[in-house]
Structures are given as structure tokens and as C-alpha cells.
Amino acid sequence: MRLSVLDQSPISEGSTGAEALRNTIDLAQLADGLGYHRYWVAEHHGGAMLAGPSPEALIGPIASVTTNLRVGSGGVMLPHYSPLKVAETFSVLAGLFPERIDLGIGRAAGTDPMTTRMLQRDRDRPMPDDFFDQLAELIAYLEDRFPDEHPLKRLAALPGLPEAPELWLLGSSPQSAIWAADLGLPYAFADFINSDGAQITRMYRERFMDSERLLTPRTAVAVWAIAADTDEEAERLAYSSRMAMTMLRRGRLIAVPPVEKAERFLKAEGLLDKPPGRRLVLGSPDKVREGLEAAAEEYGAEEVIVVGITYDHGARLRSYELIAEAFGLRAHLAAA
């Protein structure tokens, strides 16, 4: 089973977005040395909690300071953008870093309705729901699928050729699985958003149509996980993200709070001993390994992408280090 990282560039209370972005570079370098397979950066807009609105701007710096990792977007929220611009940007990245760039595409807004509107060039009308058409156009650019007489044919001469990014479809709903299966694309499911998705990935595999880009279905699952030296410490570290996510559901975007502040909040709200409402794989390294392996088996996934947010950057580094040790990633990297 492959292990990868999804980094949302969290901003801790009392810190800055610039520091969060530098922490992303720091974690990527650690993940590279530990033997993780790929490193994806997310797209979120207009909030105090996450500093990653532009994955395409982060991928190049990450790839330039790492050696073994595949680096990509988890993901680019395509409804905000021109498919041609996305294709050109990721072609440049693929040309600079051959066989290392992933283009994960998502359908969600990654923000609130007002920010979504402000991201649009045309704000006089609602954004059309034409994601599948956008995706088809993007694939046509990346794979030069326009007929010779098509007026857009010349635009498929992308700047990074002959290199190209590896295209993934991301999702947490049945519709994304249907599109990924029908188009023959690898599919990454966001368990950290919807932990009841095993039947969705099963449908993806059953419906999958082999294509020139992929002969058999390929599934990854992104799971929320924090490892620490003890189960109790991992539970405590998770208080910070639990408070931040609780406030997000209430419509308030806050920076990631310190553990002690989050513990007081959760206790006052009567949430400390209640289930968090989604899958959290927390504990010692062996316990987290068991939890991630169970999630992979449940989803039929060949790869687990680990998502984790802590207030302290050092604790987040340590979490990914402990997970890597539990799976023996360094030994696999050395053998490779």
C-alpha cells in the first residue's frame, strides 16, 4: 500500500499565512526523505484557517526542493478556471519536473458562496454547472484529442510537451465516481469529508471503463490521521482541528487554536467525549497503521493519502514521521 500526503497549509493561531506556507515546504522535504509516494496541496479560499488558495503556485517550489515525491494538486477546483489555463500551467510544471507532476481535479468551490462569486470573471450571473464539459475540454488539451480540423487543435501544443501531468479526479460523492469510471481516470476519494464512501469507490471499480490512460481502476483514499507517541497525546493534538472544524460548521473560519484552548472549548460545548462525526485515525503509530490499513481495505484503495492538522508544526512533522516508521517507508525507499 502506498502512503502519500495531502497538505492544507494550516495557519496556527498567532502565526501567519507566510509561515504556514513555509511549513508546507518543510513538511514536503521531510515527507520526501521519509519515503512518502506523493505530496498534494489543497485549494481553499477566503479563510483564516488554511493558506493554500493556489496549489499551482506551491507545486513548483515543492518539486524544486524534493527528489522522490510526485507533487500535485489535491486539487484544482476546475469550476473557477479556464481549462486551457489549467492545462498550460500544469504542462509547464510537467516539463520542468518530468514524471513527477499530478493534476488532481475537484468540482467543489473550496470556499463560501460570496468568495466563489468574487473568484469569477463574470459576476453578473451565477456560475454555470458545466463541470463535465470543462473536464472534457481539459482532457482534450492534455491528450491532444481535438480532430485535425477543430479550431482548438493548435492549443493542444502545450509548452511542456512531451511531458504531461498525471490526471486524477477527486471527489466525495457518487457523481465524481461515475465520471472517473466513465472516463477511465484514477479516482481519489475524500474520506476526511465523507467517511461513508466505500460503496462509492466500489461503484467506481464496477463501472470503470478501461482507456488509453488507465487499463484498470486505481483508487486512493484521503484519511484524517494524527500519530503521536501515545494514544492520549494523539487525542489531545486532535482537539485543535476538532474545534476549528466545529466553528467552520457554524460558519466561522478561525485559525487553528492551541490544544489547551480547544480542550476548554470542547469541554464547555459538551463535545469533548462525543464522537467527532467523521473518521479520525488517532493514536500511537501501530494504532494509526491499523486504522489506515482498515480504511484502505474498506475502500479497496491501493493508496492512502494522509491528512493531518495540528496547532504545533513540530507535532505535525512528528506525526508523519511516526506513520512513516510504522509502515517502514524509509526501508522501501532505500530498496527502491
**CATH number, position 114:** 3.20.20.30
Rounded CA gap, 186 and 178, in Å? Answer: 12
Q: Which residues contact 284 (CB under 8 A, 6 or more apart)?
A: 227, 228, 229, 230, 231, 234, 322
What letter represents residue 102's amino acid?
Answer: D
Closest CA to 112 of 45, 171, 49, 64: 45
Residue 287 buriedness (CB in 10 A; 0-12 / 13-18 / 19+): middle
pLDDT in tens, 238-262: 999 999 999 998 989 899 999 999 9
User: How many CB atoms lie under 10 A from the CB of residue 150?
Assistant: 12
pLDDT of residue 278: 81
Per-residue three-class SS string for 167-199: EEEEECCHHHHHHHHHHCCCEEEECCCCCCCHH
Q: What is the pLDDT of residue 122?
A: 78
Q: Which of 227, 231, 219, 229 is nearest to 324 (CA)?
A: 227
Reading the block at residue 161, the C-alpha cell is 510537451
Number of independent structural domains in the chain: 1
Going 118 to 156 to 57 to 316, the CA torsion angle's sign is positive
Q: How confident is the model at residue 109, as a pLDDT?
A: 75
Which residues form the domain of 94?
2-335
Q: What is the pLDDT of residue 333?
A: 74
Q: Which residues of the chain have pLDDT under 50?
A: none
pLDDT of residue 246: 94
| Structure confidence at residue 117 (pLDDT) | 81
DSSP 109: -
